[in-house]
Structure 1
Amino acid sequence: MNIFEKFYDETEKANVRFVGFSTEDIRYDFGIVYSHMFFGKPLVICMQTGRSALLDSEDLEDLDHLRQAFHLESIIQAKSLADFLKEAIPSIPLNTQYD
């Protein structure tokens, strides 16, 4: 008896970038997985905490979302992270994965 319904099972060669940087008060270590899945949103993974989020350029405008996703202490830290990620995450059209 099958107890689950599989929605997708895809394999792709993804481009992954690892980057570490610091601001005046915090160090960041991230892995960024660029994929065609999930509407083309890169998967951003904090290597220190394991927290991750699918983010695109529009998501980077929501500083509260970034602060909550990565458990940052302040909006200032979220702004610093958003400023960095704006250079690392391309502005791309939505992928039509689910059409």
Structure 2
Amino acid sequence: MELFEKMYDEHENVKVRFIGFTTENSRFDFGIIYTNMFFGKPLVVCMQTGRSTLLDPKDIEDVDYLQNVFRISDKQQAADLADFFSETLPSIPFVTQYE
């Protein structure tokens, strides 16, 4: 008896970038996974906390979202992170995965 219906099981060679940087008051370490899954959004993983999210250009503009998802207590640190992501992540339009 099958308990679960498999929705997808994909194997993909992906590009992964590990980057660490500092701002005036913080240190950040991220893994960025570029994949064709997830509507083309890169998967961003904080290597310090393990928290992760899919980010597109609209998400990067939302400092409150970044502050919440990565649990950053200071608004300026989240703004610095938004600046970093806007320079680092591609601004290509994401694709519709389900047509």
Q: TM-score range by the shorter chain?
A: over 0.9
Aligned positions, number: 99
Q: TM-score if structure 1 supplies the norm length?
A: 0.95
3-state DSSP of counterpart to 2:29: strand
Cα distance in 2 for partners of 1:9, 1:92 equals: 25
Tell me, which stretches of 5 or more residues in structure 2 are unaligned?
Answer: none
Q: Given residue 37 of structure 2, which amino acid in structure 1 is its aligned partner?
A: M
Q: Given residue 54 of structure 1, which amino acid in structure 2 is its aligned partner?
A: L
Cα distance in 2 for partners of 1:93, 1:20 equals: 26
Dislocated runs of 4+, deviation >6 Å: none
3-state DSSP of counterpart to 1:32: strand
Cα offset, 1:43, TM superposition: 0.4
Cα distance in 2 for partners of 1:98, 1:79 equals: 33
Report 1:15-94 matches (<5 A): 15-94=15-94
**CA-atom RMSD, angstroms?**
0.9
Instruction: Give identity over the alignment, percent.
Output: 60
Please give the per-residue CA displacement for 1:22-58, whole angstroms capped at 9, x wherever unaligned: 0111100000001110000000000000000000111
Q: TM-score if structure 2 supplies the norm length?
A: 0.95
